[in-house]
Every structure is written in C-alpha cells, then in structure tokens.
Amino acid sequence: MNKPLVVRARYLSFFVSPTTIVASLSIAAMTTLVILLALSSGSQWLSPQQVVTEIFIGDNSEINIILETLRLPRTLMAALVGAGLATSGLILQSVIRNPLASPDVVGMTSGASAAAVAFLSFFQMSYGIEWLPIFSIAGALFASSLIYLLAWRNGVSPMRMILVGIGISAIMGALTTFVISISSTSTSISAYIWLTGSVYGANWSDVQALLPWLCVGLMIALAFSRRINALELGDNLATGLGLSVQRVRLVLVLLSVVLAAPAVAYSGAVGFVGLIAPHIARRLVVRSFAVLLPVTALIGACLVVLADLCGRMLFQPLDIPAGVFVSAIGAPFFIYLLFRQRF
C-alpha cells in the first residue's frame, strides 16, 4: 500500500510515495481554490458557481466582461509570474546549493529592474511601452552574464557565484535609485510602482506572451532533472558520475534567467517568491527535482495570486501592488533562514 511509484524515462526518472501524491494533490487543490476565490472577489462578488459556469459556458454578457476582461487575465498573469519565479529560485538553489539563493537575492531581478527603469526614463517615448519586457529581459541576461564572468576562476563555485551576485545586486540597486532620482516625477512614480511588483492592468496579450516562456522553461528543466539531482550531490561526485559540471551549471543559470526575467518583465520586481516557494515544497514532498518542480510552481502561483487578491480587497478602493504582500512574508522568512544558517 505504501510502496512508492517509480517512473523511468529516457531523460526522467523519479519515485513518488503515497504521501508525496497526497501533498501534491492538496497543493494543486489549494491553488485552484485560491484562483477561484480571486476570480469571485471584487467590487461585485461572483459565486464560484457563476465563475465556473461563465468560463465553460459563457451565457452572461455582464459577468463575461468582468471575468474575461478584468479578473481572468490578471489572475492568470499572477499565477504564471509566481510559477516562473518559484521554479527559477528552485533551479538556482539546486545549482548553487545554497538555501538563500533566488533570482532577487543573486541579482537577476536587480538587473531586470535597472534596465526597466532606464527604459521608462530614457527610451519609453521613442520605442513605446511594449518594448519594456525586452529591455527587462536584456537587463537580467546582462546581470547574470556579469555574475558568471566575475565568479569564474578555473570554473564557477557556488559560494563565489552567490557572493558576486549579492554585489552585483547592490550595484544594480544603486544604479536604479540614481536613474529614478534624475528622472521626472511622473516617470519616478511609474518606476516605483513597477519596482514594487504588480499585475494590475494585465491583459490577454501579456498572458499569451509570458506563457510560452514558462512552458518551454519548465520542459527544459524537467529534461535536466537527473543532472540537477547529481549537481546537488557536490561538484566532485557529479564529475565522477560523468557530468560536465561547469557546462551544465551555465545552462541551468541561463534557464533560471529564462524563467525569471520574462516574469519580472511583465509584473515588475516581485521579490522573495523564488526564495519561499522551494523551501515550502521541500517540506511537503521528496527532494527529487522532477517532483519538486511542479509542486514549487504551484506554490509560487498560489502565493502571488493570494498576494494580488489581498492587494485588491483589503484596502479598497486602493489597489496595493502584490509585491508588497509577498515581501511582507518574504523578508521575515529570509531573516529566519539567515538565522538558521548560523548553526
């Protein structure tokens, strides 16, 4: 009855215990309920039955406008952003083998933020707001490349990488503050809202643009699950197993950028999701990467949707950015992890 289910494929192998299956299904159900609550809540309450009926049948034009135009794209965007940031953090923590690693701590988010603020200040009038995601992704790639190059010394060690990442994050943060200080008032307000992190105003084109990045990134991550499990054993043992450690680490760092940068580009600098979600997942399921990945993605989606729901509902008529509530949870959690690392 308690015998684990073993799954083997060409690029994928893992085992799932009954406890893991129950935990995974529970997380999936909780995430679905939070999404349903987000779709029901607003200035006009819709019952869950109305929401489900309208999504699958669509026989009420008034409800259709509320759901299809306003709530559904925003909620789906929050879920995609949370899943992308959470899985990016899981990959970084596995590759760097440090529980404090995440896109915002290592410096990827800071690079994206610096590029986005520079775009809002100097290039928005020339190129148009639709170019903001491109600049944000380019900034994250630049920061990640710089971290990797500066951390290289006969290879990249996890400790050097995270220390260099913290330094680059501080530099990018200072650059962002400098650009905001010399910008106009209207640009500064837009930049501050973006830096806080919000899915306000998300539309279907944003969802369609972000979805392929997430799907492709998750599939590649699953294909690398065996290599990631080997990396977590240490560089020497992974090399003994025939793994090209430096090459795989570079590919996985780029993959974490592919997952995090588009999410940051379309939502702003939502922090701490990539730090919190992997830790929660590890407490619920086995540490096999192929099992952790979907559970972490669901937890990240649930966190951001719940944070956006709180931002919409708790301070009406104000719409507080979701990043405020995620940071309110993430900052104490980060301090707790630092405290634990002392021992």
- Helix H segments across the chain? 18-40, 48-56, 61-64, 72-96, 103-106, 108-118, 124-127, 132-151, 158-181, 185-196, 204-223, 225-231, 235-240, 245-267, 273-284, 289-313, 322-341
Task: Find, among 273, 260, 304, the residue nearest to 31 by Cα.
Answer: 304
Dig out the tokens for 295 from the structure.
């559970």
Instruction: Indicate whether 46 pLDDT > 90.
Output: no
User: How far apart are the C-alpha atoms of 237 and 194, rounded to whole Å?
Assistant: 43
Q: How many CB atoms lie within 10 A of CB 266?
A: 21
* Cβ neighbours for 133, distance < 8 A, ≥ 6 positions apart: 209, 262, 265, 266
Dig out the tokens for 160 from the structure.
């050097």
Domains and CATH numbers, the chain: 71-341 (1.10.3470.10)
At 270-312, the pLDDT tens digits run 878 888 899 888 888 887 888 899 999 999 999 999 999 998 8
Higher per-residue confidence, 103 vs 187 = 103
Q: Give the pLDDT band (50/70/90) at residue 80.
A: very high
Higher per-residue confidence, 57 vs 325 = 325
At 194-223, the pLDDT tens digits run 777 888 878 888 898 889 989 999 999 988
User: How far apart are the C-alpha atoms of 132 and 229, rounded to whole Å?
Assistant: 35
Instruction: Indicate whether 24 pLDDT > 60.
Output: yes
Task: Find, among 287, 203, 257, the residue nearest to 84 by Cα.
Answer: 257
Looking at residue 121, its pLDDT comes to 83
The neighbouring-strand residues paired with 7 are: 14
Residues, the chain: 343
User: How far apart are the C-alpha atoms of 313 and 42, rounded to whole Å?
Assistant: 7
When pLDDT is averaged across residues 58-87 and rounded to a whole number, the result is 87
Dig out the tokens for 319 from the structure.
């719409």
Exposed, middle or buried by CB within 10 Å (0-12, 13-18, 19+), for 326? buried
pTM: 0.88
At 217-263, the pLDDT tens digits run 999 998 888 888 888 877 788 788 778 878 888 888 889 888 988 88
Looking at residue 6, its pLDDT comes to 64
Instruction: Indicate whether 8 pLDDT > 70.
Output: no
* Cβ neighbours for 45, distance < 8 A, ≥ 6 positions apart: none
* Cβ neighbours for 218, distance < 8 A, ≥ 6 positions apart: 83, 87, 259, 293, 297
Looking at residue 215, its pLDDT comes to 92
Looking at residue 301, its pLDDT comes to 94
Instruction: Indicate whether 1 pLDDT > 50.
Output: no
Query: 5-8 and 13-16 as β-strands: parallel, antiparallel, unpaired?
Result: antiparallel
Dig out the tokens for 311 from the structure.
């931002």
At 147-186, the pLDDT tens digits run 888 888 777 777 788 888 888 888 988 998 898 888 888 7
The CA angle 290-296-299, to the nearest 5 degrees, is 150
Looking at residue 87, its pLDDT comes to 94
User: How far apart are the C-alpha atoms of 200 and 197, rounded to whole Å?
Assistant: 9
Dig out the tokens for 127 from the structure.
């190129």
Higher per-residue confidence, 153 vs 73 = 73
Looking at residue 30, its pLDDT comes to 94
User: How far apart are the C-alpha atoms of 258 and 254, rounded to whole Å?
Assistant: 6
Task: Find, among 276, 334, 273, the residue nearest to 304 by Cα.
Answer: 273
Exposed, middle or buried by CB within 10 Å (0-12, 13-18, 19+), for 49? exposed
The neighbouring-strand residues paired with 45 are: none
When pLDDT is averaged across residues 71-87 and rounded to a whole number, the result is 93
**Residue with tokens 């837009």, as numbered in its chain:** 190
Task: Find, among 255, 237, 260, the residue nearest to 111 by Cα.
Answer: 260
